[in-house]
Amino acid sequence: MNAFTLKDITYTYTSTRQNALRDLSFDFPGGKVTVILGPNGAGKSTLMDLLLSFREAQRGEIILFGKPLKSYTKQELGSLIGLVPQEERSRFAFTAFEFTLFGRAPYLHHMKSPQEEDYRAAEAALDMVGMSHLAHRPVGQLSGGEHQLLLFARVLAQDPEVILLDEPTSALDPANTSRIIDIINLLKRKGKTLIITTHDPMLASEAADTLLMIRKGELLYSGDTSEILTGTYLTQLYDTPLTTVSYEDRILITRKM
């Protein structure tokens, strides 16, 4: 079953009358990793906002698990969909553990306090991203990379069916990037649906089952990663000469000299 289905989605900024997305149709398969790949300004973040119901398209329809997205309540969406944003800074003096515990909010009704299962979920999430030793450190004292991992921990504690990740490795060093890719693959094995935006084709090579290539708000190519992640398509997507090389069952991307 598809997690999301987009039907002829068009979104136009009212202030500039400029199309951010135009006539976009695509199926996001459930239980798979789909990467939305494109250069800066392609419309990736706008598409994420639409999937999260933060914005509403002027034309077209978005279906979530067989039902119109707009038919869900906020509480229902809170338990079904989780977000790892590119950046989010807290202005309050929460510890890393308290921040992670916020992921349990969709399950706490009528001002109910967190229960033992919520605390266990937060602890397990911090452990999964390798931050258990920082559980009691104030969020404001974390590095940029640590904070990015903390955002991932919060959504792991939430345990939604669909996880949206906006440029999830942009602030991470190679070691932590590798950790995130391992977690993505673990979540896929658990049957979760992951939708990732990035301008980095190497992340797509490492993690994606399916690719959606967009440029200037329009769909260029879509399909299985092994078929779509080619030098020809990447060159058109980024308007710069790129080539791909197969190495140990992986696709490496290099710039043509």
pLDDT in tens, 127-179: 999 999 999 999 989 988 888 899 999 999 999 999 999 988 877 888 888 88
Among the listed ranges 125-129, 156-160, 182-186, 244-248, which one has the minimum average pLDDT value? 244-248
Among the listed ranges 24-28, 85-89, 239-243, which one has the minimum average pLDDT value? 85-89
Instruction: Give the phi and the psi of residue 164 in degrees, each rounded to 5.
Output: -105, 130
- Check whether 248 has a pLDDT greater than 90: no
Going along 131-204, which residue ranges are E strands?
A: 162-166, 193-198
This prediction has a pTM of: 0.91
Among the listed ranges 50-54, 109-113, 253-257, which one has the minimum average pLDDT value? 109-113
The angle, 0 to 180 degrees and rounded to 10, between the axes of the packed helices 116-128 and 144-158 is 140
pLDDT in tens, 67-79: 999 999 988 998 8
- Residue 255's DSSP bridge partners are 242
pLDDT in tens, 9-59: 999 987 767 778 999 999 999 999 999 999 988 999 899 999 999 999 999
- Check whether 104 has a pLDDT greater than 70: yes
The average confidence (pLDDT) of the chain is 90
pLDDT at res. 86? 82
Instruction: Give the phi and the psi of residue 4 in degrees, each rounded to 5.
Output: -115, 145
Stretch 187-213: mean pLDDT: 92
- Check whether 256 has a pLDDT greater than 90: no
Torsion angle (degrees, nearest 10) of CA 48, 171, 161, 64:
10
Stretch 217-227: mean pLDDT: 93
110 confidence band (pLDDT: 50, 70, 90) = low
